Amino acid sequence: MPSKRRGLAVLLAGLLGIASARGGQLSVEVGDPRDRAYLPAVFGAWRGVGRDLHALGLTLPDTRLEAATSASDFARRTGEPWFVAATTRGAVIHTQRLGALAARGTLPLTIRHEAFHAAQPRSLPRWLAEGLARLFSGEAERDPRGPTGLEGLPEGTLSARLAARGEGDLSAAYREATRRARQLVQTRGWAKVLARK
């Protein structure tokens, strides 16, 4: 497509809140009109994530992103506590206000994390899904080094702790899930870990 027409297509897509990535179209609904300013960042992250998931043998489904108007709106829509950034239910990604994620510097990481969940095999246990999502997104690189204190926790208990969303120990549980997922990926590679072989 000539660059002018392509530019127009991108502009129109941005106004409509729809963009395509390899293997999956993303439509975005923002509750707060000020969040429209962050659509280019969302779509940019989406295109990158489509390529990176494809390289792992995963395909993005057509996905819908619904950004809440506030932390309480997010909690009301999802039943999640206010401090959770986003959650993916099937092919719908629910997020906090995009501006709030951008202010924290976590908007692209959150898109990558949730896109991984949208594309991952459904059969992954929760702890592994979360650990892999944080490795894939780049969030893992921000983790402090050193022991998590949860090294001896059985896998099922770790999954249950992640599901319970207790504010106090959630970040240690995410770090521990990420530590275990990283070890698996380093020794077996992404393909085998994703296939649970």
> What residue ranges bind Zn ion (CB under 5 A)?
130, 133
Q: Which is nearer to Zn ion, 130 or 176 (CB)?
A: 130
Q: Which is nearer to Zn ion, 17 or 106 (CB)?
A: 106
Least CB distance from residue 51 to Zn ion, whole Å?
Answer: 20
Asked if residues 148 and 175 have their Cβ atoms less than 8 Å apart, the reply is yes
- The pairing of strands 24-30 and 18-21 is antiparallel
Q: Closest Cα partner for 109 from 71, 52, 59?
A: 52
Least CB distance from residue 162 to Zn ion, whole Å?
Answer: 8
Least CB distance from residue 38 to Zn ion, whole Å?
Answer: 20
Least CB distance from residue 88 to Zn ion, whole Å?
Answer: 7
Q: Which is nearer to Zn ion, 34 or 104 (CB)?
A: 104
Helices within the chain (DSSP H only): 3-16, 39-55, 71-78, 98-103, 107-119, 126-137, 155-164, 170-188, 190-195
Q: In what order do the strands lie in the sheet with 24-30?
A: 18-21, 24-30, 63-67, 92-95, 86-89
Q: Which is nearer to Zn ion, 40 or 156 (CB)?
A: 156
Please identify which residue in the block is written with the tokens 């899930």: 177
